[in-house]
Amino acid sequence: MKKMIEKWSELKTEFGIKAILDSLFAGVIYGTLIFVPVYIILVEIAMIFMYRLYTFVIIIIFIAMLNVFVINKLASKALFLKKPDAKSDIKNLMLIHSGFWMSIVLIIGLVFIFILIPILWV
């Protein structure tokens, strides 16, 4: 944990908060643009094959996790493009960052599977 905080401060010193936020914003924008049609396709197929609802929910969870990974990948790419000779461990930091958000997505997905769908689908 301590190492990670050190790595983040290194990144902050090297790029500045504005550049990091700009890269994350770019990742979110392009990542969302890529995945929006995928989500719509999955939801629309799930509506037709409702008897496989849980299968589709699981697929959507995995796709959402992939989406998070792609957002972070694009953000790290944006940072590299800003400073190709950057010394900070961007790849590792973004991997940890995406791991954190992927676990959040997984938890939300499990809440849907085990709590929300059984309650709402009456």
Q: What distance in Å separates the CA atoms of residue 27 and residue 78, rounded to the nearest whole number?
A: 8
Q: Does 40 bind other proteins (CB under 8 A)?
A: yes
AA identity, residue 85: D
When the beta carbons of 19 and 95 are compared against other proteins, the nearer one is 19
Among 11, 64, 68, 78, binds other proteins (CB under 8 A): 78
Q: What distance in Å separates the CA atoms of residue 34 and residue 32, rounded to the nearest whole number?
A: 5
Q: What is the DSSP string of 7-73?
A: HHHHHHHHH-HHHHHHHHHHHHHHHHHHHHHHHHHHHHHHHHTGGGHHHHHHHHHHHHHHHHHHHHH
- Burial of 2 from C-beta contacts in 10 A (0-12 / 13-18 / 19+): exposed
Among 1, 5, 17, 120, binds other proteins (CB under 8 A): 120
In the complex, what is the shortest distance from the CB of residue 103 to other proteins, in angstroms, rounded to a whole number?
A: 26
Among 9, 12, 25, 92, binds other proteins (CB under 8 A): 25
When the beta carbons of 11 and 74 are compared against other proteins, the nearer one is 74
Q: Single out the segment in contact with other proteins by CB under 8 A; choices: 7-15, 58-66, 70-78, 98-106.
A: 70-78
Q: Which residues of this protein are in contact with other proteins, per CB under 8 A?
A: 22-23, 25-27, 29-30, 33, 36-37, 40-41, 44-45, 47-51, 53, 74, 77-78, 81-82, 120-122
